[in-house]
Chains A and B, each alone.
Chain A
Amino acid sequence: MAVNKQSAAESQAMTGNEALAEAMRQINPDVVAAYPITPATEIVQIFSSFHADGLVDTELVLVESEHSAMSAVIGASAAGARAMTATSSQGLALMHEMLYIASGSRYPIVMPVVNRALSAPLNIHCDHSDTMGSRDAGWVQIYSENAQEGYDNVIQAIRIAEHNEVQVPVMVMIDGFIISHGMENVFTLDDQTVRSFIGPFKPRFPLLDVDNPVSVGPVDFTDFYFEHKRQHHEAMVKVKPVILEIAEEYAKISGRKYGLFEEYMLDDAEVAVVVISSAAGTTRYVVDKLRRAGVKAGMLKLRVFRPFPAEELAEALQHVKAIAVMDRADSLSAQGGPLFAELRSALFDLPKRPLTTNYIYGLGGRDVPVADIESVFNDLLTTVSTGVAGPKVRFLGVRE
């Protein structure tokens, strides 16, 4: 995120959930399905206040589960509506089946997701195991470091999802409690600016257009299913340039510029941490501290995890000597976390590969203090001086 040009007077103190609900109010979707789940409950709760106060034209559907919430927005989207819902953790897991129906049917649904650990044992705090579990569901996944990015990403997500060459649902993430319930200054755009940026929804084959009848959700056996998956693959290839094009346009109205990822002090970095979402704030602080001490430290914060920007990441990281890949989810493959697996694969084609180490951190909301990130950089410096990466998968902040 580039430096904001707006004055502080235009910012408002908001929690992450308030910022996402505010974005939804400005988007004014045709249909919103609401079902509560900690820590995302507030998003639809605040939105339902907007609805009760007549501030939106939305048809608000109060459903009996997250499976139903996703089903309702799928139905609404098929009918020709701009449809949204929000969820977290177990709720996302319960929708899992319907996530594939939404993406496979190519409905441009946008859904904020507040990242929270999955049970068992029961935990309501932040990690990324919920959305990492949905990473192959055919949705675009955009992660946000803070409330500001969450707000900006939700508005851009409408354009990405509905883009003619995309037509794929998008989930936008913020970290549970750390961001969802943390208060910060957020710069919002005025309603008219948001509405002209997103424009009217133009559904492709609305079921409610009775003059042009269509059939949706047909049986798709050995003869066509594969072709439909091939199309979906192609859409995910097309997403990357579309995200950048829309980010460019969004920068013009907001002064805030986004990419597929953010590079911080990376150009000449010898050691770097690759991280997703709120832990980037702590990492940036540590990078600044190390830079003042003359250490060539850098950070890469991934924004778009699906589609995975493999070529761009390899290009941005190729000169780094040692990289720590931070995973706030363990895919329990006994080979590290999901980001590590995909990033290592992305680096594989480089003629000279950086040394990489995986850190599983912050599971179940475990705090990530500055000292922990400093210890990661210290490990990286040891790797550079010895030329050996050491244990491939390490755990940060777990008690032995």
Chain B
Amino acid sequence: MSAEIKQQSMPIKAGAGWKEIPWGGVIPQGGTARAFNVGGWRSEKPVWNREKCINCMMCWLYCPDMAIMVEDGKVAGVDYDHCKGCGICSSVCPPRVKAFEMVPEHE
């Protein structure tokens, strides 16, 4: 709730007054994390190498933010609006594959 609210479909509009929002902080809609950009929290970002990836899907399974994008059952990249840079994808990627490299955000 405390982020820039992007989607038009969000039931709670940024800047809404106290009479206009649901009581107790409840958000009467599911999947609203999509409207919440957490990419700015990253200090390191995972850079994915398509050539090395064997599509074992371990990163997709383990990513706590569902930030591994998938198309046709294959990894398609990282959703940087929702990736917090935890590095889990990089650590679960098989050691002999190493398709992820964690790169400092400013580089």
- Using a CB–CB cutoff of 8 Å, the interface residues on chain A facing chain B are 104-107, 167, 204-205, 212-224, 226-228, 230-232, 234-235
Q: What's the minimum C-beta distance from B20 to chain A, rounded to whole angstroms?
A: 9
Q: Interface segment, B28-36, B48-56, B59-67, B74-82?
A: B28-36
Q: A216: which B residues are within 8 A, CB to CB?
A: 24-27
- Whether B30 contacts A106 by the Cβ 8 Å rule is no
Main secondary structure of the interface of B (DSSP, over half): loop
Known: A213-B31, A219-B2. Is A227-B16 also a contact (CB below 8 A)? yes
Question: How many interface residues does B have (CB within 8 Å)?
Answer: 20
Residues of A within 8 A of B27 (CB): 214-216, 218
Residue of A nearest to B20 (CB): A227
Whether the Cβ atoms of A231 and B28 lie closer than 8 Å is no
Contact, CB under 8 Å: B30 / A215: yes
CB distance from B32 to the nearest CB of A (A): 6
On whether the beta carbons of A105 and B25 are closer than 8 Å, the reply is yes
Query: Does A219 contact B1, Cβ atoms closer than 8 Å?
Result: yes
1/0 contact string of B5-34 vs chain A (CB within 8 Å): 000000010101111011111111111100
Contacts of B19 in A (CB 8 A): 231
Closest to A234 in B: B18
Q: Contacts A223-B1, A227-B16: A214 and B30 contacting too (C-beta < 8 A)?
A: yes
Q: Which residue of B lies closest to A105 (CB)?
A: B24
Query: Is A230 a contact of B28 with CB atoms below 8 Å?
Result: no
Contact among A167, A213, A228, A235 with B25 in the assembled complex (CB-CB below 8 Å): A228
Alpha-carbon separation in the docked complex, A205 to B19 (Å): 17
Query: B1: which A residues are within 8 A, CB to CB?
Result: 218-221, 223-224
Q: Mark B66-96, 1 if CB is under 8 A from A, else 0.
A: 0000000000000000000000000000000
Is B17 a contact of A227 with CB atoms below 8 Å?
Answer: yes
State whether A222 touches B2 (Cβ < 8 A).
yes
Inter-chain contacts of B18 with A (CB < 8 A): 226-228, 230-231, 234
9 smallest beta-carbon distances between A and B, as pairs: A213-B30, A106-B24, A221-B2, A227-B18, A215-B27, A230-B18, A105-B24, A106-B23, A218-B1
Please give me the residue from chain A that is nearest to B32 by CB atom: A215
User: Contact between A204 and B26 (Cβ–Cβ < 8 Å)?
Assistant: yes
Residue of A nearest to B2 (CB): A221
